[in-house]
Structure formats: structure tokens, C-alpha cells
Chain A
Amino acid sequence: MPTTEPGRRRRPRASTVIVGALLTVGALVTAFPFLWMLFASVKPRGESVAYPPHLIPSEPTFEFFAQLFNELDFGRYLVNTLAIVAICMLGLLLMAAAGYGFAKFTFPGRDALFFLVLATMMIPGQVTMIPSFLIINGLNLTNTLIGISLPMLVSGFAVFLFRQFMATIPTEVLEAARMDGAGEWRIFFSIVLPMSGPILAVQVVLTFIAGWNSFLWPLIIANDQKLYTLSVGVSLLNQQIATNPSLQMAASTLMVVPILIVFVVFQRYVVQGFTLSGLK
């Protein structure tokens, strides 16, 4: 399959080289804003507003990263964001359980309830934003981490993916465990979950990305600065665009770099997640 192997195989054709070159240019243009962000985050303020602009900083400094943590409370935002990611991981267990319930049990109302799950995938977030706020407010959960996390905890799409995957687990395995006297929860935790490794990996990565990046909902629910997430903190820096781009770029870097690391390490799963969704 590899067409780029030198010597033994034929050289790639001219048209492939041209396409490759075009795609490379496109890829560089696509990635350029990130490159700009990284370099700008270590530019002293004078350099970041200099005209004409330079990509490479001549006197790099990390003072803006220090400022984010020392003066702007980004340490707290980071902890809040990680807490939300952790809570969302619990949601993952709920969705896995639901996927298992739909995949391996027959019960009255199953098809109707599963249709309901699918239907929630079609309902746009912006439509539910105001009513969800009213519901959270009615439950007295505004300005709590729970209130921020609850509506993000489950998604119909993830339940669907879990169900699709778990339907392929052989029922005999589960029956054998029942014969041996294992309880239903024990079967779920010690047989079904371990056998669902690939789909769990996908979901953990997607959940991390979604929780880490979540913006609109935390913005709506968190009025107290103590509960701001990174994304809310970063968006507030927008007012400083004219005054201090370096500080903004440092904050953006702080948000983007962990995702890039997660992406590079787990790239296979991220892509698999979108492939698993059965879009062929």
C-alpha cells in the first residue's frame, strides 16, 4: 500500500505530487493561526503590537503565563475545568450503562425510549439553552459545578454509539456469568465495560475534549468568578485585545495545548470515534 517507499516501488506519480503540494500548502494555512498563537504568547507586549508584525519573537518571555496564574486566577479556572471534565467522565458511565441496557435487554417500551434518545440528537443546543437555564435555576443549581455539568453529562449520540458497540458482545458470555451467580452490576462492571475498551477509549477522549472546550453553557450558568472555567476566563480577556494581545495568546495557548497533546496521543481514537458513528 505505501506508495512513497523509495526504490522498489514506482515513484509517486506527478499528479499525486501536485495534489500533495497543494494539500501541504492548505495544511500550513490551516495550522498557521496556531503557530501564530504559540509565538505570540511569548512576545513581550511591545513586540506583539509592533507594526509590521513578526512571526518569531526576538526576546521571548513567559511573563504572561505567570501573569495568568498570579494575577488572573487562571489556576482556579483550570481546577474548575478539570472538575467538570471529571464529572463528565461519570456521565460517561451513565451513558455506557444506558447503551448496555438498550443493547442487551428486551423490555416494554424499549424501542420507543431508544427513539427518544435518537430524537434528542436532532434538537439544537441553542433552542434548549434558555429553558435549560430555567430548569437549572428552578432546581437552585445556578452557580454550582453540578449545574454547569448536568446538561452536559449525557448525549444521545454517545448512548447510541455505546449501544451499537455493546450489541456485538456475545450474549452467551453474559448468560454464563449469570449462571455463575454474578449480579447484574457486577456483570456490567467486570465483563461488559472491560470488553468495551475501544468504544470507551473513543468516548473518554471525546468527553475530555467536549468538557475542556465547553463554553456557552458554563458562561450562562457561572456568574460567580469562583466558578469560571478556562473558556469563560479566556473569553473575558477579549476586552483586552487592543491592550495586550500577548496575554490573550498565552491564555489561548493554555487552552489549546492540552487538547493538542490529547489529540496527538489519542488521534487514532478521535478519528475512530467519527468513523464508528457509522457514516459510510
Chain B
Amino acid sequence: MKPRLVPYLFIGPALLLLVTFGVLPIAVALIVSFTDMNLAGLGDWSRIQFIGTDNYTKLFADRAFWGALSNTGLFAAIGVPSVVIASLLIAIGLNRSQGRFFRALRSFYFVPAITAIVAISLVWGYLFNAQFGLFNYLLSLVHLPPVAWLSDPLIVKFSVVWVAVWRGLGLNVIIFLAALQGVPKEYLEAAAIDGASEWRRIVSIEIPLLRFAIFFVTITTVIAWLQFFDEPFVLTKGGPLGASTSISLFLYQKGFSASQFGYASAGSVVLFVIIAAITLFQLRLRRADADY
């Protein structure tokens, strides 16, 4: 074995897979988005026609696409602040004590993040059930009327977000906890000696020092919500009448249920551009922030 080749042999296989399924797909999506590829084209490539920007024109005229886009915007608008603020508060609370009890509590918050989404969505579907679900029973105990959690076009949006927030907390709590452990104890002690209240120490010392973690969690949470898929897919299949269809779910339906690969690829490209633009925007904000 030639020594100069050795490093390439080590990185080769992993890199090949990463390029094939991580980088190449962007190019494939772009090319396919200019064609009318569908199930027939999948079997016989000669039946694929180049149709220019037709898919994009059609996409921007598709009310279902705009519906999915605005749903995704709404999901992110509710989901991102909820996840970031709640996980920050929980992490600050959990960080108050290193005792055994507090450490045991951490696991409870973390478990939803690692369990299978299909399994937990089924459980939530059961709790949300309009006839025998627990939530409506709890409402009836306080004399409130039953709620159509998954079949009302407005309420369903909040139901799927609720499940996703519940699932999204754990990971971010862990990230914030790791960051909180990096806050120098001396700062907090010095502030305590100077008579700063607890609240004051949290607001003036811990939160400013967590700036990077908050930024990181916000950026990853925004991206995660733009890709929101699992909860509506399992709980509602995007219904009723598309009320809980996210962009990702729209792409899945067009691509795999309707086999319109060209059309769905155009949607993928649009999603990619949106995610890239938002990420770049956030990075720019971050840079402005660092200058200050």
C-alpha cells in the first residue's frame, strides 16, 4: 500500500456515502425539478421530458403549496420561541442543584427526545381522541366542552405543535445544561456577595453568557421546524383538508403518494433555498452581535 494513498483509503468510503446522499441530492433535485419525471419516468428514463421552469410556475400557483408554506411559518412562529424559552427555563431550574434528585429529573425531560416518533405520536393520538381520549375527559371534569383536537382545522395546528414542542424540549435542555456548566462559578459568587438577587444573577450573568448556546439552539430549532414532518404525518396525515400539512409533508405527498418527482423536487429546491436563506440571515445577525 502506497503511503500517500493511506489517508484517502481511511476517509474514502465515508466520504463517498456522504457525497452520494448528502451533496449529490442537491444537484439531482435541481436537475429533476426542470423535468416532468413521474412514476413512468422512474421505470423508463426516455419518458422524462425537460420542461424548463414549468414546475416552479405551477408550484407558485398551487394553493396547497402556499397553505403548507404558511402552516410551516405558523408552526415555526409558535414552536421556536416555545421550545427555546421553555428549555432555557427548565435548564436554568435543573442547574440549581447538582443533587441526585435534580439529576434524576433531567432524564424525564430528555426521554421524549430519544424515543420513536411513531410510537409517541400514536400515544398522543390516543390521548387526543375525541370519543374516549383523556384530554376531553379532563376538560369535562372542569365543565368545559370537548375539543376536536385533531379534526378542527384551526385547533389541529396547535395540537401537532404541542406534541412537537414536548418532544423538542429534551435535546435543547441538555444543550443548555452543558452550556450552563461552563458559566464560571466565581462570577455568580461575586455577584452574590455584592448582593445581587437570584433573578438578577440569572438575567445579568447566566443568560448573557449563554448567548452562543441560545443562538445555536435557535438556529437548529428554526431549521428543525422548517423540516417539520413526523408529528403531522403520524397524527393527522396533514389533515383535515391540509390544515396541518407542513412543507415537508407536502413534498412527501407530491413525491411519494402522487409520484410527481419533478414537481416535488422543485418544492425541495424551494425549501432548500428558504432554509439556506434563513440560516445565512441568522449567521449575519450573529456576526453583527459579535461585533457589538
List residues of chain A with CB under 8 Å of any chain B CB: 1-4, 12, 15-16, 19-20, 22-24, 26-28, 30-31, 33-34, 36-37, 40, 48-53, 91, 94-95, 97-98, 100-102, 105-107, 110, 113, 116-117, 119-120, 122-135, 137, 150-151, 153-154, 156, 159, 183-184, 188, 209, 212-213, 215-216, 220, 230-231, 234-235, 237-238, 241-242, 245, 248-249, 251-253, 255-256, 259-260, 263-264, 267, 270-271, 274-275, 279-280
Contacts and interface: CB of A to CB of B under 8 A. Distances in A.
Contacts of B143: none
A26 B279 CA distance: 32
Contacts of B105: 20, 23-24, 27
A49 B131 contact: yes
Contacts of B98: 1-3
Contact of A280 (B26, B213, B234, B252): B213
Contacts of A215: 116-118, 230
Nearest to A158: B14
Contacts of B198: 15
Contacts of A3: 97-99
A107 B10 CA distance: 12
A2 B185 CA distance: 15
A91 B70 CA distance: 38
Interface string B1-27: 100101111110111011111111110
A97 B13 contact: yes
B271 interface: yes
Nearest to B130: A242
Contact of B1 (A122, A151, A184): A184
B243 to A, nearest CB: 18
A234 B119 contact: yes
A132 B25 contact: yes
Given A30-B108, A213-B116, A4 B174 contact: no
Nearest to A192: B10
B126 A245 contact: yes
A252 B125 CA distance: 12
A36 B14 contact: no
A251 B119 contact: yes
Contact of B174 (A116, A122, A274): A274
B287 interface: no
Contact of B216 (A27, A49, A248, A279): A279
A116 B107 contact: no
A4 B126 contact: no
B125 A238 contact: yes
B123 A135 contact: no
Interface of B: 1, 4, 6-11, 13-15, 17-26, 28-29, 32, 37, 42, 90, 93-94, 96-102, 105-112, 114-127, 129, 131-134, 137, 140, 166, 169, 171, 174-175, 178-179, 182, 198, 212-213, 216, 223, 226-227, 229-230, 234, 247-248, 251-252, 255-256, 261, 264-265, 268-269, 271-272, 275, 279
Given A235-B234, A267-B107, A128 B26 contact: yes
Given A27-B105, A238-B125, A117 B119 contact: no
20 contacts: A15-B198, A23-B90, A24-B105, A33-B124, A33-B127, A36-B127, A48-B132, A51-B132, A51-B137, A101-B7, A126-B271, A130-B25, A215-B116, A238-B234, A251-B122, A252-B119, A260-B115, A267-B107, A271-B110, A280-B182
Contact of B7 (A50, A105, A237): A105
Contacts of A252: 116, 118-120, 122-123
A241 B236 CA distance: 11
B93 A19 contact: yes
A100 B169 CA distance: 33
Question: When A and B form their complex, which 3 residue pairs have the shortest distance between CB atoms, in order from nearest?
Answer: A101-B10, A120-B22, A131-B25
A83 B251 CA distance: 29
B83 to A, nearest CB: 13
Q: Which residue, A3, A16, A27, A33, has most C-beta atoms of chain B within 10 A?
A: A33
B248 to A, nearest CB: 4
Given A27-B108, A134-B32, A183-B1, 16 more contacts: A3-B98, A23-B105, A36-B123, A36-B126, A36-B127, A101-B10, A116-B15, A120-B18, A128-B25, A129-B251, A135-B25, A238-B234, A245-B129, A259-B116, A274-B175, A279-B178
B84 to A, nearest CB: 14
A237 B122 contact: yes
A48 B122 CA distance: 14
Contacts of A28: 108
A217 B4 CA distance: 37
A259 B114 contact: yes
A209 to B, nearest CB: 5
B150 to A, nearest CB: 10
Nearest to B261: A130
A97 B230 CA distance: 32
Given A2-B99, A94-B17, A135-B25, A34 B179 contact: no
A184 B6 contact: yes
Contact of A53 (B7, B24, B97, B133): B133
Given A94-B14, A94-B17, A97-B10, A34 B114 contact: no
B223 A124 contact: yes
